[in-house]
Chain A
């Protein structure tokens, strides 16, 4: 078991290295002239060269890559081009507002979606189940942009139930959280329903029924427990995305999190910030997936420790 955990942790190194390589190719090789893009049309060759030097975009590629690796190891990604603040500070400042938005969305979404999925699985192949499935697909087919626009316009502007914009108290988070939950519900319900129904046709479920257990007992005691494995995967793997926040929600409601930071950086072509956010987000994901694998091995003895 310990050997498995160590092996799994060691695999983080090549993956993080790969992420560094991919982001390097993206921003330094494909985006070699990003310094010129950042400075605009009227920049002189000297200004561009100076900025390239500062961003580590000058010199031969291996030297640039070394510069980037040094940034990663020291966790110092330089300064934002637009605001001249330290990028590591910007990222740290953005984490808390992002989490205050995404964690409630995530938890409520999870509970509601699993609840509805259980109802659908319980009443499977009835009118109720089919209506739930159709509604879930309908919900998935509406752009998240539309949920936000309609919610903000109708609930906040027209009806005045919520503040429209800002990040001052818990009241300001209410509407973005509701919109976030509603827009994610469709795909969640559909996914968990599929997971539950996959379990419904397993042998152990038939055995449980044959022993004389009622539908509800089988569903909650047997099916839900076994369905936990795919549920854990999707839960743990979405944790890193909590930290990157929601680009659109934060932008629309003025929540100063990492999503807001990213959108600002995109609008002002602030390449160093985007590069840092992408890299840090990826590293979080890598560690979350290691955590998932370890949870698996702990929870499910069937998983072979290769």
Chain B
């Protein structure tokens, strides 16, 4: 009567696979990731070969062209192909989503783990630090960081990354407080395992699912924020991000040229929707008890 033991991940994956909506969303995410990789390839190829990239090819004869076989989404004010720019926008969206996570998640894990595990003074200090960060209005804080560091991709990523670790940090601190007196931790300590090893090798794997859920929920937020930052002019410079396409489209909309706005909006909508729905399904599969809805960034 012994069923083979299943790890948390296996159970979660089985539950996810049965959820058709989640699998469709995963498919959309993989599809976008492939496009982002492809765009990354064309970007670096043309940059290293010092050739003008096709999405920057100016064609004055064909300004504001309507969608056609040659330009499926039409062209912009300089006759550049909108579809190619939307594809490059996917690259920037993924870069922002991934780089901000690489900045924010380690900060959240290290600070949250130290606060929860060591308690006392360390805890007081870290709780104070995240209370301070939490108090500063989000979008203004991001804008200020991006402005001080310098406009561009780096500024955007640092701005979003350095200001959005608080929620996850608080969550991880709570988990470490729960885990630090569990028997397996006491046993490890009795065997002489060091604090760092207990924190990272023994406890961390038990709460890693929170990190993964948080990643899938913060990704769409980062994309939406990047769009607002680019619109406000502190975003990526000289490359077509979705925010820049939408911001450029603002002026042309009044003349009836909606292709840039439509293309960028649709591209952004499906990936954000897919991440939101997949993140929910992932949360239900990995941690049914965790039901705190995260607030939208922008």
Contacts and interface: CB of A to CB of B under 8 A. Distances in A.
Given A14-B128, A143-B224, A143-B268, A278 B233 contact: no
A89 B163 CA distance: 29
Interface stretch (A101-109, A167-175, A211-219, A239-247): A239-247
A287 to B, nearest CB: 10
28 contacts: A15-B135, A21-B132, A22-B132, A22-B136, A26-B145, A27-B144, A140-B272, A140-B296, A141-B220, A145-B228, A145-B247, A146-B246, A146-B265, A157-B254, A187-B293, A194-B291, A194-B292, A247-B228, A248-B231, A266-B147, A269-B147, A274-B140, A274-B147, A278-B144, A281-B136, A282-B136, A285-B134, A285-B137
Contact of A247 (B139, B277, B295): B139
A247 B232 contact: yes
- The secondary structure that dominates the A interface is helix
Interface of B: 128-129, 131-137, 139-141, 143-145, 147-149, 220, 224, 227-228, 231-234, 243, 246-247, 249-250, 253-254, 261, 265, 268-269, 272-273, 276-277, 280, 291-293, 295-296, 298
Given A26-B148, A282-B137, A191 B293 contact: yes
Interface of A: 14-15, 18-19, 21-23, 26-27, 30-31, 34, 137-138, 140-146, 149, 153, 157, 186-187, 190-191, 194, 197-198, 240-241, 244, 247-248, 262-263, 266-267, 269, 271, 274-275, 277-278, 281-283, 285-286, 289
A55 to B, nearest CB: 14
B227 A145 contact: yes
Contacts of A286: 135
Contact of A153 (B147, B254, B295): B254
Contacts of A283: 135
A267 B291 contact: no
B147 A15 contact: no
B228 A143 contact: yes
B148 A31 contact: yes
A31 B220 CA distance: 29
Given A14-B128, A18-B131, A191-B295, A274 B144 contact: yes
Contact of A187 (B147, B291, B295): B295
